[in-house]
């Protein structure tokens, strides 16, 4: 029963979209009518511009942030600055950050704490690789990522995104059953082992090749509360269709 939970379609633009594309996108979605939260994570360098161009019902966030507010961290983006720009949320622990930039559980835990301290909502990503799925380790991996990354965090401002690594950018989507099983496990795990908001109230999004064509079926599962969407969130028509079909 997901009637109480908030639902989201979050666009993760990764290192895509130039200023022209952003202007066009935000103009096209300016009168979007939707029952889901409409959030977009552009490149950090574009947050300021997005804040100026967006309409009220869109929230802007970052794709990553540093684990400290300031200091000698060349090239990093401070969560405090992200908040000052007016952003609402930050994605932490995306698999591309975990694998390409070797971000481990301890760092992700610190980033989450700092982001929450700055009153940013955290979209915390977890997910198994194909190898781990084939070795029947899905639950073990999810449990360890949740426990190590969020261990004693006591906050209402955390959303979980389950993103199986093998489904990200590959065109292969987890079946509603595979995703649903993982979401059910995650909700049960939060209930028993974490201090986040009541597990029944925590929104758990699915990510990995979500498209307008499969969002409805995915979200029909009682434990799937929306999508974290890469490729299919770049074009305004597709983003609007995701909202309509969800």
| Structural contact between residues 136 and 218, judged by C-beta atoms closer than 8 angstroms | no
Site residues for ligand PGA, 165-204, by CB under 6 A, read: 168-169
Exactly one of 7, 8, 9, 12 binds ligand PGA (CB under 6 A); that residue is: 12
Residues 6+ apart with CB under 8 A from 229: 9, 10, 11, 12, 207, 210, 239, 242
Stretch that binds ligand PGA, among 193-201, 205-213, 214-222, 236-244 (CB under 6 A): 205-213
Task: Tell whether residue 208 is a contact of ligand PGA (CB under 6 A).
Answer: yes
Report how far residue 66's alpha carbon sits from residue 183's, in angstroms, rounded to the nearest whole number.
Answer: 28
Task: Tell me the DSSP string of 67-135.
Answer: SSSSSS-TT---HHHHHHTT--EEEE--HHHHHHS---HHHHHHHHHHHHHTTPEEEEEE---HHHHHT
Question: Is 163 annotated as catalytic?
Answer: yes
Q: How many residues bind ligand PGA (CB under 6 A)?
A: 13
Select from 25, 209, 224, 246 the one that contacts ligand PGA (CB under 6 A).
209
Q: Give me the least distance between CB of 232 and ligand PGA, in Å please.
A: 6
**Coil, strand, or helix at residue 195?**
coil
Write down the least CB distance from residue 214 to ligand PGA, Å: 11
Select which of 94, 96, 103, 243 is catalytic.
94
Nearest residue (CB) to ligand PGA, 42 versus 230: 230
DSSP codes of every residue in 197-229 = S-GGG--EEEESS--TTTHHHHHTSTT--EEEE
Residues 240/194, Cβ–Cβ less than 8 Å: no
Considering beta carbons, is residue 69 or 236 the nearer one to ligand PGA? 236
243 is catalytic: no
What's the min distance (Å) between Cβ of 94 and ligand PGA?
6
**Contact, 9 vs 226, CB < 8 A?**
yes
The site map against ligand PGA for 143-172 (x = CB under 6 A) is --------------------x----xx---
Residues with active-site annotation: 94, 163
Kindly list the residues in this chain that would bind ligand PGA in the complex (CB under 6 A): 12, 163, 168-169, 207-210, 228-232
């Amino acid at each position: 029963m997901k009637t109480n939970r908030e639902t989201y379609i979050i666009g993760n633009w990764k290192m895509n979209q130039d200023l022209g594309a952003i202007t066009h996108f935000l103009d096209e979605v300016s009168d979007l009518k939707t029952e889901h939260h409409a959030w977009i994570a552009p490149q950090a360098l574009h947050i300021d511009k997005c804040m100026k161009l967006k309409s009220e019902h869109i929230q802007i966030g970052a794709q990553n942030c540093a684990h400290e507010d300031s200091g000698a961290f060349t090239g990093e983006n401070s969560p405090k600055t992200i908040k000052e720009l007016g952003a609402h949320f930050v994605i932490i622990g995306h698999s591309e950050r975990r694998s390409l930039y070797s971000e481990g559980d301890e760092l992700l835990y610190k980033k989450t704490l700092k982001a929450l301290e700055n009153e940013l909502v955290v979209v915390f990503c977890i997910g198994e690789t194909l190898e781990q799925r084939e070795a029947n380790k899905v639950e073990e991996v999810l449990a360890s990522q949740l426990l190590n990354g969020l261990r004693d965090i006591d906050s209402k401002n955390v959303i979980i995104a389950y993103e199986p690594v093998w489904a990200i950018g590959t065109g292969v989507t987890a079946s509603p059953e595979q995703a649903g099983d993982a979401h059910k496990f995650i909700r049960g795990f939060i209930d028993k082992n974490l201090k986040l908001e009541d597990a029944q109230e925590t929104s758990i999004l699915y990510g990995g090749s979500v498209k307008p064509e499969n969002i409805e079926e995915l979200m029909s599962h009682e434990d799937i509360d929306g999508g974290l969407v890469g490729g299919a969130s770049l074009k305004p028509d597709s983003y609007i269709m995701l909202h309509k079909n969800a």
